[in-house]
Homo-oligomer: A and B are copies of this chain.
């Protein structure tokens, strides 16, 4: 890999297609007040949490049902105009940017939990339901949905990016937890994939092809998810370590031993300092692991004892335990606030966030070299991670008015991804490819697999209208 690949990511490739007035008229006729061309609305739908800019979409359709989505896609298709699905706008990789122009289909009004099958541990929702809303609505069932990306993302967006989060080490990601979909295809047809059965060998796994396809193969209009019984007992702990290496070695052993830990998060010393300043805390200024254990009371106790022993072997100390929800929330404050604390630590900065994931045994190597490089660069950064999965986030905090900082941050990012790939890992554990990682994806998977993706995309979306310009160039 060479530097130019990375640096070409600095600016997305913009190639606007014409959005004819006839389409805008047709959308107005079909959707009335549900369609907006107001600049403020378009601007809000033309950006996400990435650090990219692009012109806003030409119109926003607020879909209220599957038929709305199908009709919007059909009308756009007649004019070969791109459509970009929009949930809550929390994408980190430029997924929502109208880099080829087109219209945004906002599904946030499709926010109903359609059916809860508590007895089967499944639920079916519309794509605009957010993860917190879902857990609120099913609270009385004694079940929960564990996937928790940082933002209160929409389930549709989480499906599109194959999201995960802190609980994935125990409960898997959207890959393992989406059972079935309803999808509007590029031709505006409504299809269904999968069933509510827990497993199936019935033909191509279209569900998992669509999960993580970032809106490029269809717009998801219904999602059936797995749920889990709320654990009988939950216990949380924080623990400080003399070095990142000691913390990571502890995690590696926890995973290799098969301890069914529910969460295990790393926060580096930089980030602990930022959190202390932001939240007026006095946490030990050392690398820290935050852990959570789910199970029966005896099971949780046993897991905790095993982990405490492993941690002590690596110099882990200052264990703090919590078992009530309030105490747990307090302990996890550092983790919950880390992003805001980091961004606040350098007023006016923008964060470039990475999310590489490596095989667990390579985690220490990957992290330590990246920390050394980041320290040497002088760019402030934070480091947190879902380390039980081998997944972690560097956030480089750069001054947007100093272009050299962005170049340096991108170089650090590039070196980090190259390192993760060389160690058998992936360029993105949970954020998706979007605009930012298109070059890295080629490095990771090779031209042959990208060609297969392109062939599938061309076959299923011959006019290239479904969120074009993302994942790979066409």
Contacts and interface: CB of A to CB of B under 8 A. Distances in A.
Interface of A: 117, 119-122, 161-164, 168, 172-173, 175-176, 185, 189-193, 195-206, 208-209, 211-213, 217, 228-229, 231, 252, 255-258, 260, 295-296, 298-299, 302, 355, 357-362, 389-391, 421, 424-433, 437, 440-441, 444-446, 448-453, 455-456, 458-460, 471-472
A203 B164 contact: no
Nearest to A216: B204
A19 to B, nearest CB: 27
Contact of A258 (B164, B229, B390, B440): B229
Given A176-B176, A189-B448, A203 B163 contact: no
Contacts of A425: 195-197
A212 B206 contact: no
Copies of this polypeptide in the complex: 2
A202 to B, nearest CB: 5
B391 A361 contact: no
A167 to B, nearest CB: 12
B258 A228 contact: yes
A49 to B, nearest CB: 15
Nearest to A208: B208
A203 B427 CA distance: 10
Given A197-B429, A229-B257, A359-B196, A460 B449 contact: no
B456 A357 contact: no
A431 B203 CA distance: 11
Given A121-B256, A448-B190, A424 B204 contact: no
B452 A202 contact: no
B120 A430 contact: no
A467 to B, nearest CB: 13
Nearest to A230: B258
